[in-house]
Amino acid sequence: MQIEKIIVIMGPPGSGKGTQSKLLGEKLGYVYFSTGALLRDIAKEGTSLGKEISNYIDQGIIIPDEMMVEIFRKKIASLGNVSGIILDGYPRTPGQAKILEDLLPELGNPKLTALFLEVDKQKLLGRIQKRKTCSKCQAIYLETNPEYQSVICSKCGGQLVVRADDDLAVIEKRFEEYQTKTAPVKQHYEKLGLLIHINGDQSIDRVHEDIKAALGL
């Protein structure tokens, strides 16, 4: 594999990782994927692995590294020839960051950049509680969108649902997991000089513009 660049999009729950990964992926022609969406797809299969994953996600707990790493490696291997990858929600622990770093030589030593979306927690709670997600294509519908009332995704015909982990008690657990397990990854990338801070508390377009400017696009 000969990948030129990997961009890691980091940030707490609801900070816009999915939204910005899609915009940036389309702009650059890079493959982008969310490990959260990938895990939700496996959970839907109802296998014993799926049930185990579902159990973690529904409680707002991140999946153990041993399990996540297998899934991540398999996904990367399935991508084929791509010039760049945007990772939404991976790595989420120092162990996952190490796996990614160890994988770089196999991928042709791509340049690694991490973007961190900063948004205040109160704002995030509001955002997460005002969305529906398509269970098939992962499109997001905000409360302000007339289609929010629908149960069918207008983009792909999939079911529009409120994610099981978007319940307030579970959201709190996701924040706790983020603070204890993922914040150290942010510090790690900061120390390596790979982290770019982005003000995520602006309009979606403005955040996208800032990301492009930070990447020199």
Provide the annotated active-site residues.
17, 92, 131, 163, 174
Among 3, 39, 85, 97, binds ligand AP5 (CB under 6 A): 39
Lookup result for tokens 């529904």: 58
Looking from the CA of 213 toward its CB, the CA atoms found within 13 Å total 9
Among 6, 8, 10, 36, binds ligand AP5 (CB under 6 A): 36
Minimum Å distance from CB 96 to ligand AP5? 6
DSSP label at residue 155: T
Minimum Å distance from CB 42 to ligand AP5? 10
Q: Is 89 in the site for ligand AP5 (CB under 6 A)?
A: yes
Q: Is 87 in the site for ligand AP5 (CB under 6 A)?
A: no
Q: Is 18 in the site for Mg ion (CB under 5 A)?
A: yes
Q: How far apart are CA 185 and CA 77, in angstroms?
A: 23
Burial per residue of 129-168, b for 16 or more beta-carbon CB atoms within 10 angstroms, e otherwise: eebbbbbeebbebeeeeeeeeeeebeeeebebeebebbee
Binding mask 2-21 for ligand AP5 (x = CB under 6 A): ---------x-xxxxxxx--
| Largest Cα span, the chain | 47
Of the candidates 135, 147, 140, 83, which has an alpha carbon nearest to the alpha carbon of residue 111? 83
Q: Is 57 in the site for ligand AP5 (CB under 6 A)?
A: yes
**Burial environment of residue 103 by CB neighbours within 10 A (0 to 12, 13 to 18, 19 or more):** middle
Among 7, 68, 86, 107, binds ligand AP5 (CB under 6 A): 68
Residues that bind ligand AP5 (CB under 6 A): 11, 13-19, 34-36, 39, 56-57, 60-63, 68, 89-90, 92, 96, 127-128, 131, 140, 142, 165, 174, 202-204, 207
Residues that bind Mg ion (CB under 5 A): 18
